[in-house]
Homo-oligomer: A and B are copies of this chain.
Amino acid sequence: MRHKDDSKNEAIFQATMELINEVGLSDISMSKIAKRANLSSATIYVYFANKEDMLVKLYINVKEKMSRQMIHELDDSLSTQELCERFMRNSMKFILDNKDYFMFLEQFSTSPLMDKLCLEDTATMFIPLHEFIEKGKQKGDLKPLDTVFLLTYCYFPVTQLAKAHFKGRFEANEDRLQQIIRMSWDAIRL
């Protein structure tokens, strides 16, 4: 089916994320989303098969945006350490610039919906990242452990700092960012 208006798609996504951040995944509804997006609920069903389908497509869409930004300007010219630092800086920037996206992902990825919908295919988006890590291990820069864990040590501290920042607990400034970059590197380097 052809959609005249691609912006409607985006409006639905945007409205959904806003609402999820305001009231939570458990309290959104198609009619609330429609109202926020200035549409009729019925219109959503022109673009998506049902609620689940919409949420899944939103998830994939957001995850894609995130992964694209996270691996931005990562290339072989950089040292392993520089790669990790850039990845962490990219991640932090994405999260701070896109609070709604991030908070949506946080909620959605802890919900059983994820497993139910077999959404792990999104892993493919991070293939380049994995490859850099693999190379780092081969070069003897990184500990010879599961790539997933090496990445965990780079990614999670960033999310924790961002969340503390959003909650007003402490600012995600350059100083703190450098601190966790240092800690993460100490964790994963050989």
Contact = CB atoms under 8 A, between A and B. Distances in A.
Interface of A: 21-27, 106-107, 110-113, 115, 120, 143, 145-146, 148-149, 152-153, 156-157, 160-161, 164, 167, 169-170, 176, 179-180, 183-184, 186-189
Given A180-B149, A183-B149, A23 B112 contact: yes
The DSSP consensus for interface residues of chain A is helix
A149 B187 CA distance: 13
A24 B112 CA distance: 5
A175 to B, nearest CB: 10
Q: Which 5 A-B pairs have the closest CB atoms?
A: A187-B187, A26-B26, A24-B112, A156-B156, A183-B187
B164 A160 contact: no
Given A106-B110, A183-B188, 18 more contacts: A21-B112, A23-B112, A24-B26, A24-B111, A26-B26, A26-B111, A26-B113, A107-B110, A146-B170, A148-B160, A149-B161, A152-B160, A153-B157, A153-B183, A153-B187, A156-B156, A183-B187, A184-B187
